[in-house]
Structure 1
Amino acid sequence: QSSFGCAADEAERMRERRVFLWSVIIATVVVVVVVGDDEVAKLIERTDQLTHDFECFQRKINKRIDPERLKRAGSLEARVETLEGHPCGSGRYQCGGDDPQCISDLLVCDGHADCRNEEDEKHCELHLKPGDKFVGERVFDHCRRLEPEHITLTINSVSTATFFTGYPKLQITVNIHVDKDDVETEAGAPTIAYYSFAKNQLVIVGGLGSNTDSLALIGQFDGHNFDRFVGEAILESDTVCSRFIYHRQ
């Protein structure tokens, strides 16, 4: 059972405990009329203990459904799905649920529900905004002779065409930082990027430079943690020539 299912079950149990506590309180009021002070005092003490236990239980529930924990769980699930492969194939989006359905990527976040479960219109908030900055640390880089230590991406503007809402357009500045032979250099260039809600990808076209042909950068978010993505530079020959891990600053 998923962490979300567990949270729902625990929330239901928490509701049942509230009903139980109110039943105890009402019973206490009734008993006051027919029993002595000692019995009433014992009932009040027991009610206080139950209230304390309930509050402790509620705090445990809140810890278990902490948004950060849910985000980490979602990121782990996304990694597993990546390893298992995409069941819908290239250019297709899986709706998910008990009745998996595949639709075109172009239909995701277009303002009309195309999945039977409407999943294609549920996650259409862009978590990137002007002023955001991501710094990528090098894993490997065979694209350039200088092999930069890190690359900084700064988002300058975001716009969405009314007829193409599933692919917002971003104006980005790419800064490449090189530290070689005790000499630090930096080169920057503005470029255009598009975000795909269907794939949770940031696609930067041009502005990266290489020794051979032009580059595109594919930034893959996991759909849960939008403070981190894996960026791979791809040549026109469809070869991955570099990988950087980017974190929001």
Structure 2
Amino acid sequence: SMWSRLVLGWLVVGAATLMVVLGRNPGDEHHGHKEDIEHVEGRLAKLNARVQNMIHDLHERTGGEKMKKALHYEARLARLERIKDSFLCHKDREFNCAGYDPQCISILLVCDGIKDCHNGRDEEHCDIPLHPNDEFVGHVIYDKCTQRRPKQMHIHVKSVSTPTFFTAFSKVEANIHIVQKVKLLQGEVQLPSKGYYSYGRHALVIVPPEKDRLGLICYFDGVDPDRCLAAVVHEATLDPCAMFMFVRHHDEGHGEHHHHDDDHDDDHHDDDHDHDDDHDHDEKHDHDDGRRHDEHGHRGHGGHHSHVRRGHGQHGHH
């Protein structure tokens, strides 16, 4: 569409500008690039204003799929901003607040209910895209290291819990289902796995479930909760050796707009899910979950695949 071409053109111009500026000498102290950075920030601000206006216009006129595409453009713009300031913050230990006043904070402070960034960005996008009984199907992009060489793998989420005293991460338990295609390893395998979701990185991290010490990190873009790009990594070095694209599997029997809740270390939460056999029981369970989360200060918010928003009272809304 005309809107898509215009926005894509703006983003290409922004990306080209960034590559020219940052490509000169990204390892230097940024004092010598002050004027260049200010110029790039100005261009990004204009791009952001145009994208925001377009998103508002699309929401008013059409909504639906075009709205989702507009959100993807916003996510791409956010990635451009992260590239611009990538030399300022440690990518694994710090969160980039972005904006005109560059600021890095500990990743442990993201989504803790307190605005540590001057612009409050660390308390935005605090929804979790993972919920009990969710299933994601991973399609192989390349694979240089796994022993089974699967074309697909499935992640079935068993439980999600967020400690009240440490809300930057949520604990995740899951089953990884792999269909083996290698000549000597025909068949299927279920790997009980544990990991966590990092709000600062928008990433699901699965710790190595086997002796080969291969873990998995699946990165969401912060906009689309239905897909993430996963890297299979060596535990010792975190070097990637395989890539998969995971897409949410929609159960036709339950539709695409059911509501999920995560729990606050309620041990009996998993048992309830394991024994849900009929739709009536599911509805009762959802109602009980909603009541229990209200008691813990949680609140859900609507939308496509409604996500959990942890009710700290200071979160922004995307």
Fold match (TM-score > 0.5): yes
Is the 8 Å Cα contact of residues 228 and 247 (structure 1) preserved in structure 2?
Answer: yes
1:226, 1:89 → 2: CA distance? 25
Say whether 1:176 aligns with 2:221.
no
TM-superposed deviation, 1:123: 1.6
2:229, 2:131 → 1: CA distance? 18
CA 1:162–1:246 in 2, change beyond 3 Å: closer, same or farther?
same
Is the 8 Å Cα contact of residues 78 and 223 (structure 1) preserved in structure 2?
Answer: no
Aligned counterparts, 1:71-82, within 5 A = 71-80=71-80
Partner of 2:214: 215
CA offsets 1:48-105 (integer angstroms, 9 cap, x no match): xxxxxxxxxx889523895312222134335545766723123111112222211110
CA offsets 1:162-186 (integer angstroms, 9 cap, x no match): 1110101111111111234598511
Is the 8 Å Cα contact of residues 131 and 154 (structure 1) preserved in structure 2?
Answer: yes
Partner of 1:121: 123
Could you list the runs of 5+ residues in structure 2 that have no partner in the other structure? 1-45, 250-318
Residue type of the alignment partner of 1:230: L
Is the 8 Å Cα contact of residues 195 and 201 (structure 1) preserved in structure 2?
Answer: yes
3-state SS of paired residue (1:73): helix
CA 1:104–1:149 in 2, change beyond 3 Å: closer, same or farther?
same
Is the 8 Å Cα contact of residues 136 and 247 (structure 2) preserved in structure 1?
Answer: yes
Say whether 1:2 aligns with 2:47.
yes
1:67, 1:8 → 2: CA distance? 12
Paired residues in the alignment total 200
Partner of 1:89: 90
1:115, 1:134 → 2: CA distance? 33
Structure 1 window deviating more from structure 2 (179-188 vs 148-157): it is 179-188
1:95, 1:123 → 2: CA distance? 13
Partner of 1:68: 68
2:185, 2:233 → 1: CA distance? 27
CA 1:82–1:232 in 2, change beyond 3 Å: closer, same or farther?
farther
Partner of 2:150: 148
Say whether 1:235 aligns with 2:231.
no
Higher strand share: 1
Instruction: Name the larger-Rg structure.
Output: 1
3-state SS of paired residue (1:216): strand
3-state SS of paired residue (2:243): strand
CA 1:7–1:140 in 2, change beyond 3 Å: closer, same or farther?
closer
1:177, 1:218 → 2: CA distance? 20
Is the 8 Å Cα contact of residues 7 and 61 (structure 1) preserved in structure 2?
Answer: no
Question: What is the RMSD of the two structures over their aligned residues, measured on CA atoms?
Answer: 2.8
TM-superposed deviation, 1:191: 1.2
TM-score normalised to the size of structure 2? 0.56
Is the 8 Å Cα contact of residues 169 and 196 (structure 2) preserved in structure 1?
Answer: yes
TM-superposed deviation, 1:142: 2.1
Is the 8 Å Cα contact of residues 85 and 102 (structure 2) preserved in structure 1?
Answer: no
Residue type of the alignment partner of 2:151: E
Aligned counterparts, 1:126-141, within 5 A = 126-141=128-143
CA 1:101–1:244 in 2, change beyond 3 Å: closer, same or farther?
same
Is the 8 Å Cα contact of residues 85 and 98 (structure 2) preserved in structure 1?
Answer: no
Residue type of the alignment partner of 1:224: V
1:92, 1:60 → 2: CA distance? 33
CA 1:103–1:192 in 2, change beyond 3 Å: closer, same or farther?
same
Could you list the runs of 5+ residues in structure 1 that have no partner in the other structure? 12-57
Residue type of the alignment partner of 1:148: P
